[in-house]
Amino acid sequence: MKFTVEKAALLSALQKVQGVVQARSTMPILSNVRIETGKDQVHLFATDLEIGLQDSFAAKVSAEGKITVSAKKLYEIARESREDTLRIESKESQGIVVRTGKSSFKLRGLSADEFPSFPEIKETGRIQVPAEALSEMIKKTAFSISSDLTRAALNGALIRFPDAGQANIEMVATDGHRLAQVIRDLKDSGIPEEEQKVIVPKKTLFELKKYLDEGEPKEIEIVLSEKHILFREGAYTLLSRLIDGCFPNYEEVIPREHPKVVTLDRELLQGAVRRVSILSDEKTHAIKLTFRKGELQISSSNPEMGEADEFIATDYSGEETSFGFNVRYIQDITSALQGEEVRIHFLDAASPTRIEDPGDDGFIGVIMPMRV
Amino acid sequence: MSERIILHIDMDAFFASVEQQSRPALRGKPIAVIGSGKRTVITTSSYEARARGVRTGMNIFEGRTVCPELILVVGNNRKYADTSRGIVEILQDYTPLVEVYSIDEAFLDLTGSIRLFGSPEGIARRIKERIRKRFGIRCSIGIAPNKLLAKLSAGLEKPDGLVRLRPEEVPSLMERLPVTQLCGIGKRLGEHLAALGIRTCGELGCFPMADLCRRFGMVGETLSVMARGIDLSPVVPLCEEPAPKSIGHSTTLSRDISDKEILHRTLLQLSERVARRARRNHLCGRTVTLTLRYADFSTFSKRVRLAHFLHHGPEIYLAAREILSSLRLYQAVRLIGVTLSGLTRDYLQLPLFAEERKREEISRAMDAVNDRYGMFTVTWGTLLKRSKGPGVISPAWRPAGSHYVNVR
């Protein structure tokens, strides 16, 4: 194997696979990246057995071959290089030599044949989604994904793919205490015959979002199979295992009509919550919201530190209602939204509260109160 | 601070005495109280047995070897808990400042009581008399200016002792007292001190504090102060106990087990007990620790910190089972334990989904039934096959608060 590559191209591809490579793994080979030459290009592949990521870069290939080497070390070598061109070659499968300017690195490697490869997948559906919309959907739901390992089905976001008749895609995440749902219209309807719902792991979504935000792609092709999901754009391919589990019936907990509605300036609310949270209980993160005629009182109390209060003028005219919230849940949702205002629908201290963006019909956030 | 008067009371051979009282045939005989399991040890022995060399912690074989006519009695935890509660009630007649130190020990702060009840010795004699009349058991009492010395003096004339240590007697007593007699200095620490040439409290008190601190860290200062008979710690009554840091239960299995199904069932049973105790004290925790002791007594624990606070048995169980399944068991398991920590009071994030709200209601309904008819009256189907033998009651048992465990 022998090729010459521009530093920027190599670095960009290596950067993408870093997130997938495991720093510490029971299988040492998984901290490596597989390098394989093609025609005028080189393919990189890394996997943690849950997610596999493949990307390519243009290169002058003068001898074919494949090998695996430490992804982290190769990345560091490329990053620190003073020259713009790197020459990489390997004679046997024992390692590679990287030459750049007056430096050379011998990096030991492992045979590419021992590296796990992409599993064969049986396609059950395919859809094109604008990259920007996909990134935004992840941003507005991912914070609600549960990290509680005992609830596997909640460790990812549910994606509903449209059937031939619909032209929208939906993403939902919940941790059992709050929920976020985004629905976005698509230009075309889906290919699958029937609607499909899959649960995509959190890590996959974060890797994908990183690519969507940095790589500036326009459109992503999503391919579905029974156990896997694949995101593709050009040479970039992200394949992930799906979470096998039963997602709770989320539709029934989204309050449709709550009689009490308040619209607030988003940044004003965000700022007030941030200030009051300084004295919220450090373990429970509880703050209290009290809606009364014409105003909202946000308060916190920490038995060891003290109390805080802030008032915001509102157009509320209903009866006085107060409830507790985990301050993080409110912060997550208000910082994920972009509109100038947020609208809060509520009933009482024991019912789910709905938070939305008045300028975006496709988003719904739900937070369950805390008893305080 | 003006002179305090602290009383320490220690029941003599508590479990054994309770047994001898409830079964007159056992009186005057060497008896040993053991647990119900196959692999139990002697938890307490009567003074008759002690005279023959029977010691706490011996196994049955060892006990029988030194005293062939030793009578073994399987402990009845409920009897001990009830007796202990009754004794605490008597103690509370003399001061509200009663610190229950263990199931058979307590501290009383009598500083404010002598105006009402007369001399401390008088109070002590009345307490001894009432306990002997009502429960038929004897106790040893020490009265001193602080807890450390009170506990020390209660141990000086066992059994049935009553020692008052006056402040002016302290220096001469401490001078020749071996350091290991002090509560808190065990065998290991005693050996470390001996290596520095320190054997008596007198020697420890004279030893430069800076050197002690260099050798033992923060403990060094405490040691030096203790050796001079100084202890400023207050008597903490039950209702003012600080919030617990963790709630845990463990059990020694009746035989070494490697069958995961039995381990899982035991885990669920322990998790239920932990959860119930947490709920009773309005506590939730987010760290679950699994402790395993292998057949060769090597012990280790592994913990997991969860995203949410919890207080339901099945939730704690799932987290503990998750830890268990991440382990490769190298040997059969002898002891298994579950602990909930990272506790907070009354954390009540309401669940979003109906299923979990039902779980909350199920727990509440189960608690209501079990409070009335006893632990595990209503329980999970899996636990119908659980081991039912009562374990040995924990010395940390308390008549109320988070250490209170309903015993069978």
Confidence grade of residue A78 (pLDDT, cut at 50, 70, 90): very high
Q: Residue B351: which of A149, A176, A284 has the nearest Cβ?
A: A176
Q: Are residues B314 and B371 in the same domain?
A: yes
Question: Is the alpha carbon torsion for B42, B44, B48, B53 positive or negative?
Answer: positive
Q: Residue B350: which of A148, A252, A371 has the nearest Cβ?
A: A371
Chain A residues in contact with B322 (beta carbon < 8 A): 149-150
pLDDT, position B2: 66
- Which of 5-64 (A) contact B at CB < 8 A? none
pLDDT, position A168: 87
Q: How far apart are the CA of A354 and the nearest CA of chain B, in angstroms?
A: 12
Is B402 within 8 Å of B240 (Cβ atoms)?
no
Collapsed DSSP state (helix, strand, coil) of residue B322: helix
| Beta carbons within 10 angstroms of residue A230's beta carbon | 18
Q: Are residues B218 and B249 in the same domain?
A: no
Q: Are residues A189 and A218 in the same domain?
A: yes
Cβ distance of B350 and A350 shorter than 8 Å = yes
Mean pLDDT in chain B? 84
* Residue A210 domain flag: yes
Question: Which one of A215, A250, A285 terminates a domain?
Answer: A250
Cβ distance of B355 and A248 shorter than 8 Å = yes
* Residue B404 domain flag: no
Q: Element (H or E) spanning A277, and its range?
A: helix A266-277
Whether the link from the prior residue into B399 is cis, omega within 30° of 0, is no
Name the range with the highest mean pLDDT among A273-277, B200-204, B334-338.
A273-277
Interchain CB contact of A371 with B (< 8 Å): yes
Q: What are phi and psi of A127, to 5 degrees?
A: -155, 150
**pLDDT tens string B302-311:** 999 887 888 8
Residues of B with CB under 8 A from a CB of A: 304, 306-309, 315, 318-319, 322, 342, 344, 346-356
pLDDT, position A241: 95
Mean of pLDDT values over B160-187:
84
Cβ distance of A283 and B344 shorter than 8 Å = yes
Q: Inform me whether the pLDDT recorded for A7 exceeds 90.
A: yes
Q: Are residues B206 and B285 in the same domain?
A: no
Collapsed DSSP state (helix, strand, coil) of residue B266: helix
- Please give the C-alpha separations between residue A232 and each of A16, A192, A238, B323, in angstroms, as whole numbers: 14, 17, 6, 36
Count of structural domains within chain A: 3
Cβ distance of B353 and A176 shorter than 8 Å = yes
CATH code of the domain in which A30 resides: 3.10.150.10
Q: How far apart are the CA of B319 and the nearest CA of chain A, in angstroms?
A: 6
Cβ distance of B349 and A352 shorter than 8 Å = no
Q: Are residues B254 and B326 in the same domain?
A: yes
This model's pTM is above 0.80: no
Q: Are residues B85 and B222 in the same domain?
A: no
Mean pLDDT in chain A? 90
- Please name the residue of chain A whose CA is at the shortest distance from the CA of residue B322: A150
Domain that holds residue A300: 254-367
Mean of pLDDT values over A354-361:
93
Question: Which one of A209, A229, A250 terminates a domain?
Answer: A250
CATH code of the domain in which B295 resides: 3.30.1490.100
Domain that holds residue B127: 1-165
Q: Are residues B255 and B319 in the same domain?
A: yes
In the annotation, is B355 catalytic?
no
Cβ distance of B351 and A248 shorter than 8 Å = no
Count of structural domains within chain B: 3
Q: Are residues B24 and B157 in the same domain?
A: yes
Q: Which of A248-257, A335-344, B128-137, B352-361 has the lowest mean pLDDT?
A: B352-361
Question: Which one of A228, A250, A272 terminates a domain?
Answer: A250
Q: Are residues B250 and B353 in the same domain?
A: yes
Q: Are residues B115 and B219 in the same domain?
A: no
Active-site choice (B99, B105, B272, B315)? B105
CATH code of the domain in which B223 resides: 1.10.150.20
Q: Are residues B110 and B145 in the same domain?
A: yes
pLDDT, position B242: 66
* Residue B407 domain flag: no
pLDDT, position B406: 57
Q: Inform me whether the pLDDT recorded for B408 exceeds 60.
A: no
Q: Are residues B147 and B207 in the same domain?
A: no
